[in-house]
Chains A and B, each alone.
Chain A
């Protein structure tokens, strides 16, 4: 009986990135038992970093060797440059997040499990980035989501951490259910799971106005919207970002958004080209809603983490403009922008984490006072991240926004450019507010003192991560050409 089941050929190389991360997680679980507690933090972090580094290298090689994309393992996953590029961004964000995590004041007893979960979350994302059927899509999504649910709640001594995990679990579960239900409807309408076969069947059978299919598409879009924290599926974002340990927030904000948006692009373009008229408008509407909600709510925040959470909602809006443009330029814009965006996002949360540890309390705008002068590297880096988020020059954020608006204009949607420009203008208030708090208000005025009373501890790992994020943020402005070429090659895996 068993012999009659034809097992598909398995391209292990295409799976190398998730495998490296799975292995790192497994080693870390062993370390949780075999490595003595005082060494565990260092060993676990190094193993996890090696896993992410391995994934990064594997993805880079895969990128180099997968010029023509093709399905592997019975077409369950797609081996192409799009997935490889997204994996590289995720792995980069993972490495930076480890630097942020390293000195996080967290109980030592579960530290190896923390890094194991971080690696597995990365594995899930790397797997999801290559998904090419509705089943692998759901599998990858749940895989990394479950890891993140636990990561959000892992620091039991942190106020709000458990609550954040629970909130994320419930709302995220709802999002996954939507995605699954949508997938079922699409399967019901077309009888296919593979993205490109769905498109073929829809075309052959003229299903493009089929109610079941369109409903399914809407639900799939909603499910991905939850993960990308786009409005109106964003409700969990501020609470979870605020409550979760800051290194986890840093990883989530960069990596989850990356895979969710890349997957949204892949699904929409590959599986539903016949419905393009519908979903471009819908995605544009979601983008506008995200821009409005994110920017307006961010204006009134006092907590920096909440502000960054709303900023991440508004950036989901910006990047969805690129998806809505539904052209090669839009794909390029999205894939380029994800690189500096991830660096800025991890970097900004890293600076917040540093300040948290220094003051031993949640960071508000007021408690940033004087940071720029006391810690020149962190201050300068945070300035660059905020300017980058605001789309000002000398950062990759500027080029990213420029490409996104250019893509919207090429699609013929000048109004979307205007909306994006208006949203950028609003966002300046709170991004520059961070800079104002750091440099223009003296700390003495607010009577802040480090917890220990002395100078804050030097955190080499965190500072290296911040410096690396700064280098990517600024470097992506000057070295646009190689990055755009990479994004172009990756986007050419999609049938634009």
Chain B
């Protein structure tokens, strides 16, 4: 069997699972367990892909190509690079955890719910493996459809406004990207990402950047973010902030940076400045946010700013650090959102002012939240520290000012994370915290502990990702030479 089928089945398995869940008349419990099984099988497939992946080889691996419509040279072309492999891994792990959380918490209309969750898995994996511009766009948009339903149907009281805002923002960006995709593809004569050359057009570049900057989001395009993250079910918020935002960062990396060398050097300064602004602004907002989800949402804005700093440093340190930090932040913010969901279930609110004292008699919750929080504030020795250090070192080579801003933001991160931990776990018992509120249940532990465990492994061995993301000449001349050649 061609190894490319492995990549294809990473997309097809969840989609097939979704169709099965929709079509078969299963009982709610069976639906949840089917979805869970498919999500775990997806993780197993990914592990198989890691085993088959040759990290020393350059270029695309486990690829498959099939013409879709030939007159415009559009094809179904999928494959993996080192960094896409890690992001796919992040996706399948977080989606499995989110599915598990939903299964545990119980969702109304389970068939529709789990079907959409699986469809979302397939679409996000598709974004990370697509090697054709139009295919990338298809998956990018396909990602939005299940999210629209998941937030709009199962969300909180303000879900209609939140989805409207979310969809209008992301689609406005995406449609600019569609125009760019068409212009780039037609003018190059092919839509293939591997086969096409680079482009010098600023306008096409900006079309792509618009889409990615909205989805990430980058300051000042984040107006949709707090509401979407607050109104979603917690596991959907975990996916949004943990994985979907990484799709945008991946877009910067795979398309904006690798296809547009000259525009990147033209627009690098404004993008870096915006990213730095977002980093500081998001951290400050997170420090002032009145609720759990607000803190995590704005910290997500800050972290995406940091990742963008690393990416647009366009040197080895920055890029490797950014990829590592994408995985770190994905795991951290997914864990935090799932924990926030658990806390909200117990206290019926996420307002920090009404929480507190939850550490007493709840050692598991205290340990897990504390550990994740410490990761989030990038304590030395943690995977996040490794990622942030590499990013700052990378961006320092571009301009020391960015590194200074980044360092300040790390201090701010400590402030907001410690505030969150203290407001939930310590202080006097909050008005909303009933005495009967249980510690984390074994099922909840089973969902979040693997995520934390992966973070621990990465802390011990960050080189697992940093040494295995970029091998060899991609784009032409290699990332290092790309960075040296040029970008002033």
A418 to B172 alpha-carbon distance, docked (Å): 12
Q: Is there an interface contact between A393 and B142, defined as CB atoms closer than 8 Å?
A: yes
Q: Is there an interface contact between A409 and B183, defined as CB atoms closer than 8 Å?
A: yes
Q: Is there an interface contact between B138 and A440, defined as CB atoms closer than 8 Å?
A: no
B-chain residues with CB within 8 Å of residue A393 when the two chains form the complex:
137-139, 141-142
Q: Is there an interface contact between B186 and A409, defined as CB atoms closer than 8 Å?
A: yes
Q: Does B223 contact A (CB under 8 A)?
A: no
Across the interface, B175 reaches (CB within 8 A) one of A387, A421, A439, A481, namely: A421
Q: Is there an interface contact between B68 and A440, defined as CB atoms closer than 8 Å?
A: no
Q: Is there an interface contact between A484 and B71, defined as CB atoms closer than 8 Å?
A: yes
The number of A-B residue pairs with CB atoms under 8 Å apart is: 78
Q: Is there an interface contact between A480 and B141, defined as CB atoms closer than 8 Å?
A: no
Q: Is there an interface contact between A424 and B186, defined as CB atoms closer than 8 Å?
A: no
Q: Is there an interface contact between A373 and B182, defined as CB atoms closer than 8 Å?
A: no
The proximity string for B residues 163-178 relative to A, scoring 1 for CB distances below 8 Å and 0 otherwise, is: 1100110011001101
A406 to B164 alpha-carbon distance, docked (Å): 29
Q: Does B408 contact A (CB under 8 A)?
A: no
Q: Which residue of B lies closest to A481 (CB)?
A: B69
Q: Is there an interface contact between A481 and B72, defined as CB atoms closer than 8 Å?
A: no
Q: Is there an interface contact between B167 and A432, defined as CB atoms closer than 8 Å?
A: yes
- Answer whether A436 and B160 are a contact pair too, CB < 8 Å, given A425-B172, A425-B175: yes
How far is the CB of A110 from the nearest CB of chain B, in Å? 41
Across the interface, B141 reaches (CB within 8 A) one of A392, A410, A414, namely: A392
A-chain residues with CB within 8 Å of residue B215 when the two chains form the complex:
none
A332 to B69 alpha-carbon distance, docked (Å): 12
Q: Is there an interface contact between B109 and A373, defined as CB atoms closer than 8 Å?
A: yes
- Of residues 390 through 431 on chain A, the ones whose CB sits less than 8 Å from some CB of chain B are 392-394, 398-399, 402-403, 405-406, 409-410, 414, 417-418, 421-422, 424-425, 428-429
- Answer whether A480 and B69 are a contact pair too, CB < 8 Å, given A394-B142, A428-B168, A436-B152: yes
A-chain residues with CB within 8 Å of residue B70 when the two chains form the complex:
481
Q: Does B67 contact A (CB under 8 A)?
A: yes
Q: Is there an interface contact between A488 and B71, defined as CB atoms closer than 8 Å?
A: yes
A-chain residues with CB within 8 Å of residue B171 when the two chains form the complex:
425, 428
Q: Is there an interface contact between B160 and A440, defined as CB atoms closer than 8 Å?
A: yes
Across the interface, B153 reaches (CB within 8 A) one of A332, A432, A440, A480, namely: A440
A393 to B127 alpha-carbon distance, docked (Å): 13
A432 to B163 alpha-carbon distance, docked (Å): 10
B-chain residues with CB within 8 Å of residue A424 when the two chains form the complex:
175
Q: Is there an interface contact between B141 and A405, defined as CB atoms closer than 8 Å?
A: no
B-chain residues with CB within 8 Å of residue A402 when the two chains form the complex:
134, 178, 182
A-chain residues with CB within 8 Å of residue B144 when the two chains form the complex:
392
The proximity string for B residues 108-152 relative to A, scoring 1 for CB distances below 8 Å and 0 otherwise, is: 010000000000000000000000001001110110110011001
A393 to B138 alpha-carbon distance, docked (Å): 5
The proximity string for B residues 413-424 relative to A, scoring 1 for CB distances below 8 Å and 0 otherwise, is: 000000000000
A373 to B179 alpha-carbon distance, docked (Å): 35
Q: Does B159 contact A (CB under 8 A)?
A: yes
The proximity string for B residues 58-102 relative to A, scoring 1 for CB distances below 8 Å and 0 otherwise, is: 000000000111111000000000000000000000000000000
Q: Is there an interface contact between B145 and A418, defined as CB atoms closer than 8 Å?
A: no
Q: Is there an interface contact between B175 and A332, defined as CB atoms closer than 8 Å?
A: no
Q: Is there an interface contact between A417 and B182, defined as CB atoms closer than 8 Å?
A: yes
- Answer whether A398 and B179 are a contact pair too, CB < 8 Å, given A387-B145, A481-B70: no
Across the interface, B71 reaches (CB within 8 A) one of A332, A422, A428, A435, namely: A332
Q: Which residue of B lies closest to A410 (CB)?
A: B186
Q: Is there an interface contact between B69 and A428, defined as CB atoms closer than 8 Å?
A: no
B-chain residues with CB within 8 Å of residue A440 when the two chains form the complex:
152-153, 159-160, 163
**Most chain B C-beta atoms within 10 Å of own C-beta, residue among A414, A417, A428, A440:** A440
A403 to B72 alpha-carbon distance, docked (Å): 9
A-chain residues with CB within 8 Å of residue B186 when the two chains form the complex:
406, 409-410
B-chain residues with CB within 8 Å of residue A439 when the two chains form the complex:
149, 152-153
Q: Is there an interface contact between A421 and B160, defined as CB atoms closer than 8 Å?
A: no
**Most chain B C-beta atoms within 10 Å of own C-beta, residue among A332, A393, A394:** A393
Q: Is there an interface contact between B148 and A432, defined as CB atoms closer than 8 Å?
A: yes
A182 to B167 alpha-carbon distance, docked (Å): 46
Q: Is there an interface contact between A406 and B72, defined as CB atoms closer than 8 Å?
A: yes
How far is the CB of A391 from the nearest CB of chain B, in Å? 8
How far is the CB of A360 from the nearest CB of chain B, in Å? 28
How far is the CB of A434 from the nearest CB of chain B, in Å? 13
How far is the CB of A426 from the nearest CB of chain B, in Å? 10
A313 to B179 alpha-carbon distance, docked (Å): 22
- Answer whether A480 and B68 are a contact pair too, CB < 8 Å, given A373-B109, A387-B145, A425-B175: yes
Q: Is there an interface contact between A409 and B182, defined as CB atoms closer than 8 Å?
A: yes
B-chain residues with CB within 8 Å of residue A410 when the two chains form the complex:
186
A454 to B164 alpha-carbon distance, docked (Å): 34
Across the interface, B168 reaches (CB within 8 A) one of A399, A429, A435, namely: A429
A405 to B182 alpha-carbon distance, docked (Å): 7
A480 to B144 alpha-carbon distance, docked (Å): 22
The proximity string for A residues 434-445 relative to B, scoring 1 for CB distances below 8 Å and 0 otherwise, is: 011001100000
How far is the CB of B72 from the nearest CB of chain A, in Å? 6
A-chain residues with CB within 8 Å of residue B163 when the two chains form the complex:
436, 440
How far is the CB of B113 from the nearest CB of chain A, in Å? 12
- Of residues 335 through 391 on chain A, the ones whose CB sits less than 8 Å from some CB of chain B are 373, 387
**Most chain A C-beta atoms within 10 Å of own C-beta, residue among B163, B171, B175, B185:** B175
How far is the CB of A296 from the nearest CB of chain B, in Å? 16
- Answer whether A481 and B67 are a contact pair too, CB < 8 Å, given A392-B141, A406-B72: yes
Q: Which residue of A lies closest to B154 (CB)?
A: A440
A410 to B149 alpha-carbon distance, docked (Å): 36
Q: Which residue of B lies closest to A422 (CB)?
A: B175
A387 to B176 alpha-carbon distance, docked (Å): 18
The proximity string for A residues 17-49 relative to B, scoring 1 for CB distances below 8 Å and 0 otherwise, is: 000000000000000000000000000000000
B-chain residues with CB within 8 Å of residue A405 when the two chains form the complex:
178-179, 182
Q: Is there an interface contact between A428 and B167, defined as CB atoms closer than 8 Å?
A: yes
Q: Which residue of A lies closest to B109 (CB)?
A: A373
A-chain residues with CB within 8 Å of residue B149 when the two chains form the complex:
439
Q: Which residue of A lies closest to B69 (CB)?
A: A480
B-chain residues with CB within 8 Å of residue A480 when the two chains form the complex:
68-69
A435 to B185 alpha-carbon distance, docked (Å): 32
Q: Which residue of A lies closest to B74 (CB)?
A: A480
The proximity string for A residues 109-146 relative to B, scoring 1 for CB distances below 8 Å and 0 otherwise, is: 00000000000000000000000000000000000000
The proximity string for A residues 53-71 relative to B, scoring 1 for CB distances below 8 Å and 0 otherwise, is: 0000000000000000000
A313 to B153 alpha-carbon distance, docked (Å): 31
A398 to B134 alpha-carbon distance, docked (Å): 11
How far is the CB of A63 from the nearest CB of chain B, in Å? 19
Q: Which residue of B lies closest to A393 (CB)?
A: B138
A429 to B148 alpha-carbon distance, docked (Å): 13
A-chain residues with CB within 8 Å of residue B141 when the two chains form the complex:
392-393, 398
**Most chain A C-beta atoms within 10 Å of own C-beta, residue among B68, B137, B182:** B182
Q: Is there an interface contact between B167 and A417, defined as CB atoms closer than 8 Å?
A: no
Across the interface, B183 reaches (CB within 8 A) one of A332, A392, A394, A417, namely: A417
A-chain residues with CB within 8 Å of residue B138 when the two chains form the complex:
393-394, 398
Task: Give me 6 A-to-B residue pairs in the complex whose CB atoms sit less than 8 angstroms apart, sorted by A's number.
Answer: A394-B142, A402-B178, A406-B72, A421-B178, A435-B148, A440-B160
Nearest 9 pairs of A and B residues by beta carbon: A393-B138, A480-B69, A440-B152, A421-B175, A393-B141, A421-B179, A405-B182, A425-B175, A393-B142
Starting from the known contacts A425-B172, A481-B69, 16 additional A-B residue pairs (CB-CB under 8 Å) come to: A332-B71, A393-B137, A393-B138, A394-B145, A398-B141, A405-B179, A405-B182, A406-B186, A409-B183, A421-B176, A422-B175, A424-B175, A425-B171, A436-B163, A480-B69, A488-B71
